[in-house]
Amino acid sequence: MNKNIITIVFIALVVALVVQRLNNPEVRRPGANPLVVEFNEVHDFAKLRPGHIKRATKYVLESADAILDEILAIPDADRSFENTMVVIDDIYAEIEAVWSPGYLMSATHTAKEIRDEGLASSRAIQKYITDLSLNEDLYNAVLSFSKSKEAQQLTGYKKKFLDDTLLDYKRSGFGLPKEKRNAVKKIFNKLSDLGLAFSKNIADFQDTLFVTTEEIKGLPENYKKERLQKDGTYAIDMSYPSYVPFMDYSESVDARKQLKFKFNNRAVDSNLEVLKGIISKRRELVSVLEYKTYAEYRTENRMAKNPQNVWEFENDLKSKLRPKGEMDIAEMLVIKSNRTGTEATTIDVWEAGFYEQLLLKEKYNLDAEEVRQYFEFNNVTEGLFTVYQRLFNVRFKKVKDPSVWHGDVLMYEVYDGATKELIGRFYLDMFPRANKYGHAAAFSVTMGKLTEKGYQKPTTALVCNFPKPTKFQPSLLTHDNVETYFHEFGHLVHGVLTQAPLMSYAGTSVARDFVEAPSRMLENWVWQKESLSLFAKHYETGAVIPDELLDKMIAAKNVNSGTKALQQVYYGVLDFTLHDGYNPDGDATTTDIVAKLQNEITFYPYQEGTHMEAAFGHLNGYGAAYYGYKWSEVYAQDMFSIFEEKGIMNEEQGMRYRKIILEKGGTEAPLNLVREFLGRESNSDAFLRSMGLE
């Protein structure tokens, strides 16, 4: 058949499907709903009211059903990648259009009713997706297409998408009897409920330690002023801007011990049982699916491939890091011995931050409070923008009077530096408030996807909890805050710069144990003089950070690098242990495992009576996958070695990174992308150098 005729027929089919969706009398588009927007229009978050998320969710799920019906109505003989696989991706894009902003609202909106509605929406959508993944008719449609001549000849991202989809069906129980698939569905739905409850309990938890003037001694005056109570005490809550400085600077051992105890018992009353339920249900799931453990199930479709590779990675890392950890502890013990007048043999968990700060000050003459003076939030933002814009040839334009969910939130548009075309958008929600998500993360709002109308412009929201400006001083960031900012913004650009044709591969939709690598790589710019000099300016005088201070910071970079990395190994091993053979109904509790592994792997003894696992949120979303943080760092540092060699502001290498790593998303295997960027096989040499181990 003539190619032009084929094209006309295909366009006619697409138009017919679109018209069918728009004219479907059973799917009524809700009017004036901030979460239901036209193609490439922005959300009117300021107008969001109770009921909007619920109605938008109902609409997209009904629309998804209509799209599903279209796929199932196609005769098997007529199936193609475009009318079956692409349209499956359309279903997920339809759902994601409400799921992403709704979930963001559940984590950031000030109104409890809207936050709860966002969680309810997420729960309903997750259950819908579970049902969809277990839909036998859809499975048969994909299976039928997979046997076609076209399917056998697929290449590139199309072949990968078909292969990944078939593997997902296997992982959902297809190939098993129907009664087992029904059991899988029930387990998935229960896990969804448990996971949402686990996260909500952490977010909702509130606690405060009230301390005296003597106990807050060592903290900056502005910190004290912000927390002073009418009765003369000071309120230290569990948010990071409150908790971390107190643990680092309070001279009161008892107060730090009390605060650590409270912090490591967040959500303990509710989440220990929830966590036990999550682990039990995951065991039940893999038993039905005929995997040995949940860890085997989770690693199957990731870079690691199997649990053995993860255990080898963690054990190898642990042995290589231990000598550096011993050196780190020895340095702190000298300071503790001198301070206490006795020969110290242990650094307790409530002393780690405090003695690290003393070590930085005494050995390197580095005062973190002095460093903060050079990292005012707006200056850091401007400098970060400069680095990212220059490297990736993009331009950020601030949106005036954006429609946002809180007055602190800023909005920007992203333009391509060469074509001047709009690429995407992002939001910044950077300061803590009551009931807001308590960590730092990039949330999808709209995901990229190639459609018949053109490319859907992606939008990402960056949610952080940096110190908020007060009447006493502006927002001054610690160097760790700056590193976090660069890291999370790396996730943001990964989402916004995507050019993946399918939403399923857009942005950070990559193998879970690789997802941190692109953003971890971009942390390195906060350790380089050339980039720091762009934005590290004293908040009062405007003076650029002096070389002397920069030299001290860089010299002190690997202070406690061993103990900190071992802490990450501990988290990864804890997570993997709980999911690779552990029986929650056996003799050992999760807390027993926490105590045992903390004492074995880290140099900080377990604090009796604490249950950190109750608020270890990654056990939910990252179950059997936390190892990915260090795993991905190996690849991150290897990729950064190219910039070390060619220049950290080398625009040619920045564009290669954008094109090869960021734009492609999950369209290719991560190892192939890394190999293409490096021009060689990856190795761990740069990672070990970055830790001060070589």
User: Hey, which residues are catalytic here?
Assistant: 488
For residue 121, the one-letter residue type is: S
Place of tokens 């018209």: 19
Three-state SS at 425: strand
Q: Which residues pair with 174 in a beta bridge?
A: 176
Backbone angles phi, psi at 199, to 5 degrees: -65, -40
Q: With beta carbons less than 8 A apart as the criterion, state whether 447 and 506 touch.
A: yes
Render 612-673 in DSSP notation, one character per residue: GGGG-THHHHTTTTTTHHHHHHHHHHHHHHHHHHH-TT-HHHHHHHIIIIITTTTSS-HHHH
Going by their DSSP bridges, the two strands 454-456 and 449-451 should be labelled as antiparallel
CB atoms within 10 A of CB 691: 20
Biggest distance spanned by C-alpha atoms of the chain: 91
DSSP designation for 612: G
CB-based contact 410:377 (threshold 8 Å): no
**Closest alpha carbon to 533 in 522, 510, 520, 549:** 549
Give CA angle at 465 (463, 469), nearest 5°. Answer: 120
- 523 vs 69, 461, 662, CA distance in Å? 46, 19, 15
Q: Which residue in the block uniquely carries the two structure tokens 């990559």?
A: 510
CB 447 within 8 A of CB 458: yes
Q: How far is Cα 37 from Cα 33, in angstroms, rounded to an integer?
A: 8
Residues in CB range of 462: below 8 A, 6 or more apart = 426, 427, 428, 429, 430, 440, 441, 442, 443, 488, 489, 491, 492
- Tell me the residue length of the chain: 694
| DSSP secondary structure of 385-425 | HHHHHHHHTEEEEEPSS---SSTT-EEEEEEETTT--EEEE
First to last CA, the chain: 63
- Give the contacts of 627 (CB within 8 A, at least 6 positions apart): 304, 310, 313, 314, 513, 572, 575, 576
